[in-house]
Amino acid sequence: MRRALRAEWTKLWTVPSTGWLLPAVVLLTVGAGAAAMAAVDVSQCPSPAECFEDTTRLSLDGVRLGQAAVAVLAVLVITGEYGTGLMGLTLAAFPRRVPVLLAKAGVLAAAVAVAGTVAVLGSLAAGRGILPAGGFTAANGYPGLSLADGPTLRAAVGTVLYLVLVALLALGVGAVVRDTAAALTLVLSLLYLAPVLASLMGDQRWRERIEEFSPMPAGLAIQSTRGLDRLPIAPWPGLGVLLAYSAAALLLGTLLLARRDA
């Protein structure tokens, strides 16, 4: 297993796309989050205290865009090898199929966790600078963002885990489909289609059911720090929904890797 991990780590950093996709995760997450925060201020509310804005979730909103770069990277980790024929050499060097995919998953998870941590810390730092300018101050009932605050820490750690799980989901789908374009289409549809469908639902119960069992709406519940009783699903169970999707994709990818590439 150690040899497989070392090999996958080397391959990850020799692929040109890694050098720009991981920074893209940080830039897209922080940039989109900063834009979202800059577009909101207390003047849009009857009074500052009546905005009821979840400033932690708002500061981390950029992950909705940053996750796309994570998905691209994760899919390329495996479909790129099929496209170039390198997968045949990999499986010849490591005949046991399960360790190969587990090594890819471990290396990918570590890389995304580092990029995700930088992105989350950058987003919170941006929030500390941008939100007070919009009137979200302690005097108006919005304390500054701090990891010393339990709910904010949970949202920050959970967001990093969310990005890692998105990466594992995309890796599993890539192992199943083996085609870059098809895998990306499927992963991005899983992530982004459910919120669109939910917004089109006139029935509140159906809207909540879609959000409760869809990977992105359920998974991003982990970012919420206010109004938790009004969420379709609680933060940690919501992240568990995404975990189930990721585990199922990896399991199916492992089974098919063993059967098709025997």
Amino acid (1-letter code) at residue 157: V
* Cα gap 210→215, rounded to integer Å: 10
pLDDT averaged over consecutive 10-residue blocks of the chain (262 residues)?
69 79 96 94 78 91 97 91 64 65 90 97 95 88 90 97 98 92 95 83 77 92 92 94 96 83 54
pLDDT at position 184 is 95
Tokens describing residue 45 = 């509310």
The DSSP line for the chain is -HHHHHHHHHHHHHSHHHHHHHHHHHHHHHHHHHHHHHT--GGGSSSGGG----HHHHHTTTHHHHHHHHHHHHHHHHHHHHHHTHHHHHHHH---HHHHHHHHHHHHHHHHHHHHHHHHHHHHHHHHHHGGGGT--GGGT-PPP-TTSHHHHHHHHHHHHHHHHHHHHHHHHHHHH--HHHHHHHHHHHHHHHHHHHHH-SSHHHHHHHHHHSHHHHHGGGG--S-GGGSSS-HHHHHHHHHHHHHHHHHHHHHHHHHHT-
pLDDT at position 111 is 95
Tokens describing residue 226 = 């206010």
* Nearest residue to 57 (alpha-carbon basis) of 91, 33, 40: 33
The conformational region for residue 179 under phi > 0 = left, psi -120 to 50 = alpha, else beta, is beta
Long-range contacts of 205-211 (CB under 8 A, 24+ apart): 208/232
pLDDT at position 116 is 97
pLDDT at position 103 is 86
Taking the C-alpha atoms of 116, 119, 123 and 125 in order, what is their torsion angle to the nearest 10 degrees?
110
pLDDT at position 87 is 62
User: In the chain, where are the structural domains located?
Assistant: 2-260
CA-based R_g, the chain, Å:
20
Whether the model pTM is above 0.75: yes
* Cα gap 162→49, rounded to integer Å: 30
